Structure 1
Amino acid sequence: MNLRVKSVEASIADSHDEERSLKRSLGTWDLAIMGIAVAVGAGIFSVGAQAAANFAGPSVILSFVLAALTCGLAIMCYAEFASTVPVAGSAYTFTYATMGELLAWIIGWDLILEMFTGAAVLAKYWGVYLGEALLAFGLPFPSTLEIGGLTISWPAFLVVAVFTVLLVLGTHLTARVGAVFTIIKVAIVVFVIVVGFFFVEAANFTPFIPEPVPTEGGAADAWTQSLFAWLTGAAPAQYGVYGMLAAASLVFFAFIGFDVVATSAEEVREPQKRLPRGIFLGLGIVTLLYVLVSIVLTGMVPYTELAQEETPSLATAFRLVGQDWASAVISVGALAGLTTVIMVLLLGLSRIVFALSRDGLLPRWLSHTTAHAKTPARITIIAGTVVALVAAFTDVGLLEEMINIGTLSAFVLVSLGVIVLRRTRPDLPRGFRVPWSPVLPILAAVLCFWLMLNLTTLTWVRFLVWLVIGLVVYLAYGRRHSRWAASVSEVELPTPQGAEAPGTRSGED
């Protein structure tokens, strides 16, 4: 395996390249709001209801806590890395500094998958929610157009185009716009929580962990089984402890995106201090909101009534208690929620490709930044255009779970990478240190891998196909054009503590 490790010093030096550097303009609250923006989307109004109805009942509250703890463990590893290597690229850059170029490329390729599919899928949903929000106020709205036999989701194209322009104009401007939408959606969530508490009945929380109900499964649904169930032959089950754990895998989707915050490390003022604070502040607020929503949801109506609905959501709970007006408010909240998620995913996608291209693993001309705003305009425009076209013209909803598996694979490698960097470079200054290392990083990696095993076999097959495509791209282009490979000989082990990497970095493209 290729263990060409890029030194931390080299990564930091690359961030000072005037033609390929980003502007440090973000503070602690910008990061916290970015985390809230990407984690609190339309899912806060639906994912908890679906998990409660189909898997966990009232114990979905614990499912959210378990998912938040798992995410928190992994995010601690991100915070240590980001405060040590405050450079764009997130898990890709961190893996390059610890496990070598090949694994770094693989994880960068995974992150492209996560953010590309995430942005495209949610842009498609944005068009749907726009139609629902307007319909709730009595304004029928066609969210698709038929042109030449093609069905076009024009709102999906529009929202991606608008945020692509904003990202080209500047990260700080985009953060300000995102903050406005984030405040709106959090206000709506808090309003719904407060109103919902008036309809909570303690009896609905009993039994808190419902008795398990076995469900039928077999070869016919092998593609929709979790990989763990398929490998072990275990029959899927509703409710009980295993149902609660299965729900934790489902609701973990609510917390993905905090890794995107780490991709902005190169754009943060005083990153050693502000990055960890911003990440943890955002995660704390998001966890509180999701837990409160799940308490209200399962307290308003029995989970058995939610299970009878085809698509249970928080709006369903309000309807079942005779408060139909809430659907209009929730639709607006869902629309505002999706808006900011799309924005942050587009930001993360452009920064990952920027880091890969700056290292030469993708064409170097992509990594040029604008003179004034210091944004990677070429990458942002290309990525935004592709996302907009895919969202507008294809049924990307089929790839929804690809977002999860791309994120979790990154979480696993970053968690393990913290242990490696502690051993190889204990001398590096760290703005934050994961406590009880290596126990907590190993626990984070194991929990994230467990969640990966709970994704469907079809998702795993698609993931492996994506990895094969990425390996072909790396062997055909990245390996031969790598700037770091051109300046150092391939070694068997990472650079020893205190030693300088041999050679000098190559020049421009």
Structure 2
Amino acid sequence: MMNPMSLAQRLLRKKPISLFAEQAAEQRGAELGRSITLFQLTMLGVGATVGTGIFFVLAEQVPTAGPAVLVSFLIAGFAAGLTALCYAEMSSMIPVAGSSYSYAYATMGEGVAFLVAACLVLEYGVSAGAVAVGWSEYLHNLIFVTTGLELPRALLHAPLVAEGYTLHRGGDGLINLPAAFLVFLCCLLLMRGARESARANAIMVMVKLAVLALFIVLAFSAFDSGNLVPFAPHGFAGISAAAGSIFFTFIGLDAVSTAGDEVQNPRRNLPLAIILALFIVIGFYLLVALAALGAQPQGMFGGQEAGLAVILQNVTGSPIPAVILSAGAVISVFSVTLVVLYGQTRILFAMSRDGLLPPVFSRVNAHTRVPAVNTVIVSCFVGAIAAFLPADILWDLTSMGTLTAFTVVSLGVIILRYRSPEAPRGFRVPLFPVLPILSILCCLYLISSLPMIVFRMTAIWLILAAAFYLLYASRRSVLEGRDAGSGLRGKGQPGE
């Protein structure tokens, strides 16, 4: 009989790369089907990214940075590009569900992996709530423009507001009902299966890109360079603060890697989809932001709901283009919520398969091949966030989770290059180790620009996660009592 493991041993134990594939083979009852193509995977990344920011983040960040928000997008995009290369290498080595959680498990140990997973819950669960809040604004705008009806404000806004270090009751909102309803619709679609969800997402993404292309063409027809002056009214401090908040809009890069268990030819398609999605995203972000800034004075962005639709209506003098854009936003932001919810469920699936969460999170429906109960639990959690928390605090919490995950992935690339230099890789980060180090430094810099209330809320969340790990997960891990090379422990596997 083996001696009990100490807490330090539990925190530092790593999951061998070979065990990921071995585990999937042994747990056939919990195996997900490989049905997602390269195109669908790329659209998964684009769908989780384009729309999350560009449809409504300008109203939040132009008042912070002015027209220099373009530089903020470039800074965030540069950091995301460095991290995308690191994700490409890691995903080609460890092509499984779980994203940066799985990568941390293989490189830095179970304790770090669990805290990274807690940050991923912020990244995915909170961002899905944030996107749903923005969706309700465009839905309301679409209803108003087409019918002249206005929904009661009490049903469109969260009851809580963020000020300083605290959240408190404020405003006239009771519940953001449309946001919660969107999460419910996405839950229903995800329950039908990964292939069906990926196809629906690809269609919605193409609609989204067509609508944004329409906006770019029409907004540039009214471009006035005078709207870009003063370019940086709040200096580099404003640019930096906006970049930190904008970074959450690149969550799609991480979402691609959560599909590792369901992708065809994952060692090739995962890194390729990440890089393709990055180029598409940055291109659309910059064009839409520049067109919007040129078409409308910077002072009009603050507090503007459904901002892109309003800009089009002002530019054309007709409600028809605004109706088209609002309808496109309603469809496309649906796809963002769908993909982010998908990513959240697959991360929890991977954790449950590793024994760090209850088995119910990795129980797969035999017909649809999806973790059905997991999907329902996540949707209830996200629906509550969308209904009751304000959008501004949700953006920043998402950025904190995203930046933490990106930092871990970049560090993981460095560790595995030295620890396992001969391990097969479908992609290798160029200019190693310079680019991974730059990625880490960029992420840490952007983290430092986030408001203090985000650090406080994140610290509380991580303390709760650490308590859960110590009281439950550490002794139920599949690595508990496992000798090197002895295989998975037979007891306590998901689904038993």
TM-score range, shorter chain: 0.7 to 0.9
Which one is further off, 46-55 or 18-27?
A: 46-55
Structure 2: runs of 5+ lacking an equivalent: 1-7, 157-172
Which one is further off, 423-432 or 394-403?
A: 394-403
Matched, 1:21 2:15: no
CA deviation profile, 1:309-331 (whole Å, cap 9, x unmatched): 54383345445546353443332
Secondary structure at 2:447's aligned position in 1?
Answer: helix
Shift of 1:183: 1.6
Letter in 2 for 1:282: A
Contact in 2 for aligned 1:49/1:297 (Cα 8 Å): no
Of the candidates 33, 49, 53, which is equivalent to residue 43 of structure 2?
A: 33
Shift of 1:385: 2.9
Match of 1:357 in 2: 352
Structure 1: runs of 5+ lacking an equivalent: 213-237, 489-500
Secondary structure at 1:507's aligned position in 2?
Answer: coil
Shift of 1:74: 0.8
1:305-344 equivalences in 2 (<5 Å): 305-306=299-300, 309-311=302-304, 313-318=307-312, 321=315, 323=317, 325=319, 326-344=321-339
CA deviation profile, 1:130-178 (whole Å, cap 9, x unmatched): 22211111252547769xxx94544333322232222222101001111
Letter in 1 for 2:183: V
Of the candidates 130, 135, 147, which is equivalent to residue 126 of structure 1?
A: 135
CA deviation profile, 1:344-389 (whole Å, cap 9, x unmatched): 1110111011011110011124312222332112211222233334
Matched, 1:264 2:287: no
**Across the two proteins, how many residue pairs are aligned to each other?**
463
Contact in 2 for aligned 1:15/1:21 (Cα 8 Å): yes
Match of 1:276 in 2: 271
Matched, 1:478 2:488: no
Contact in 1 for aligned 2:93/2:267 (Cα 8 Å): yes
Q: Distance in 1 between matches of 2:481 and 2:281?
A: 44
Secondary structure at 1:23's aligned position in 2?
Answer: coil
Q: Distance in 2 between matches of 1:127 and 1:246?
A: 26
Distance 1:273 1:502, change over 3 A: closer
TM-score by length of 1: 0.85
Matched, 1:190 2:185: no
Letter in 2 for 1:176: R
CA deviation profile, 1:224-269 (whole Å, cap 9, x unmatched): xxxxxxxxxxxxxx1x344333332232232223201111011111
1:141-220 equivalences in 2 (<5 Å): 142=151, 151-205=174-228, 209-210=231-232, 212=233
Secondary structure at 1:429's aligned position in 2?
Answer: coil
Contact in 2 for aligned 1:5/1:97 (Cα 8 Å): yes
Match of 2:442 in 1: 447
Which one is further off, 315-324 or 448-457?
A: 315-324
Distance 1:82 1:458, change over 3 A: same
Letter in 2 for 1:37: G
Shift of 1:47: 2.2
CA deviation profile, 1:97-144 (whole Å, cap 9, x unmatched): 000000000001111122111223333443343222111112525477
Match of 1:234 in 2: none
Secondary structure at 2:53's aligned position in 1?
Answer: helix
Distance 1:60 1:6, change over 3 A: same
Contact in 2 for aligned 1:48/1:251 (Cα 8 Å): no
Match of 2:489 in 1: 506
Secondary structure at 2:205's aligned position in 1?
Answer: helix
Contact in 2 for aligned 1:486/1:505 (Cα 8 Å): no
1:458-473 equivalences in 2 (<5 Å): 458-473=453-468
Letter in 1 for 2:207: I
Letter in 2 for 1:183: M
Matched, 1:426 2:449: no
Letter in 1 for 2:304: T
Contact in 2 for aligned 1:306/1:317 (Cα 8 Å): no
Letter in 1 for 2:409: V
Contact in 2 for aligned 1:42/1:337 (Cα 8 Å): no
Letter in 1 for 2:264: R
Secondary structure at 1:503's aligned position in 2?
Answer: coil
Distance 1:252 1:387, change over 3 A: closer
Letter in 2 for 1:170: G
Distance 1:251 1:382, change over 3 A: closer
Match of 1:104 in 2: 113
Letter in 2 for 1:368: R
Match of 2:165 in 1: none
CA deviation profile, 1:49-69 (whole Å, cap 9, x unmatched): 543343142x33232222111
Contact in 2 for aligned 1:56/1:247 (Cα 8 Å): no
Distance 1:427 1:268, change over 3 A: same
1:34-49 equivalences in 2 (<5 Å): 34-41=44-51, 43-48=53-58
Of the candidates 367, 370, 382, which is equivalent to residue 362 of structure 2?
A: 367
Distance 1:244 1:399, change over 3 A: closer
Shift of 1:195: 1.1
Q: Distance in 1 between matches of 2:465 and 2:275?
A: 32
Of the candidates 74, 81, 87, which is equivalent to residue 72 of structure 1?
A: 81
Q: Distance in 2 between matches of 1:385 and 1:52?
A: 33
Secondary structure at 2:191's aligned position in 1?
Answer: helix
**Among the aligned pairs, what percent are the same residue?**
36
Contact in 1 for aligned 2:64/2:239 (Cα 8 Å): no
Letter in 2 for 1:173: E
Distance 1:193 1:91, change over 3 A: same
Distance 1:60 1:264, change over 3 A: same
Contact in 1 for aligned 2:53/2:249 (Cα 8 Å): yes
